[in-house]
Amino acid sequence: MKILQELTEFQCKKNLEKLDTTVLGRNYICYDEIDSTQKEIWRRIENKKIKNGLLIRAKNQTSGIGTHGRIWYTTENNITFSFYIELNCSIEKIKGITTGIANVIVSIIKEKYNVNVDIKPPNDLYINGKKVGGILTESKVRGNVVKFIVIGIGINNSQIKFNKELDNIATSLKKEYGIVLNVEEFIAEFCNKLEKIFLKRIG
């Protein structure tokens, strides 16, 4: 695995110029290629090399994790990242968080491009009846207390060609509307919105 960037907090501010968070995204690592951003987060948890708010992005994934254990194929300039947030709250406080994250994504795309993205609860994103993205939420729970969550986001941003298995059910923003999100700007805005909503909710 080749690390494209491993950024300090100061460098992260420069790279994610519009980042305005306290925790989320302040530790930011970008891989040129990796098996899975979600798996890398869990490896760092197991090796105790993890910081609160860590966000890992990959330009390419060779074995990304989709829903129900499916592989999420990623090509360059699609949006793929996972993040880690430490918690110490009841399970009830994070109920519906996946749909909440989906709503944040939908709102950003609507505000920037006036494009409607539909949510298929709890974790799939659709455009014109085809899947454009998904959210994977995992957590560590002890008793009724959530210790931390690991959340993966995948959005088909610029991909035009899909394999035969996915061609009739998957699409991308570029394929449907000819638009391509700026990845760094999207991630920064996502972090800003989510942290405000999330911290308010669990506070």
Is residue 203 predicted with pLDDT exceeding 60? no
Report d(CA 191, CA 89) in Å as an integer.
Answer: 20
Query: Which pLDDT belongs to residue 155?
Result: 95
Average pLDDT rounded to a whole number, residues 89-98: 90
**Phi, psi of 142, rounded to the nearest 5 degrees:** -125, 115
DSSP calls for the chain? -EEEEEE-HHHHHHHSTT---SSTTSSEEEEEEES-HHHHHHHHHHTT---TT-EEEEEEESSEE-GGG-EE---TTSEEEEEEEEEEEEGGGGTTHHHHHHHHHHHHHHHHH----EEETTTEEEETTEEEEEEEEEEEEETTEEEEEEEEEEE--S-----TTTTTTB--HHHHHS----HHHHHHHHHHHHHHHHHHHH-
Per-residue model confidence as pLDDT tens digits over 110-127: 999 999 999 999 899 999
DSSP calls for 158-175? S-----TTTTTTB--HHH
Query: Which pLDDT belongs to residue 16?
Result: 85
Query: Which pLDDT belongs to residue 117?
Result: 97
Strands 28-34 and 55-61: parallel
**% of the chain with per-residue pLDDT over 90:** 64
Of 57 and 166, the structure prediction assigns the larger pLDDT to 57
Per-residue model confidence as pLDDT tens digits over 139-189: 999 998 999 999 999 999 998 888 777 778 899 999 999 999 999 999 999
Average pLDDT rounded to a whole number, residues 64-89: 74
Q: What residue spans define the domains of the chain?
A: 2-202
Instruction: With 0.85 as the threshold, say if the pTM is over it.
Output: yes
**% of the chain with per-residue pLDDT over 70:** 89
The CATH architecture one would assign to domain 2-202 is 2-Layer Sandwich (3.30)
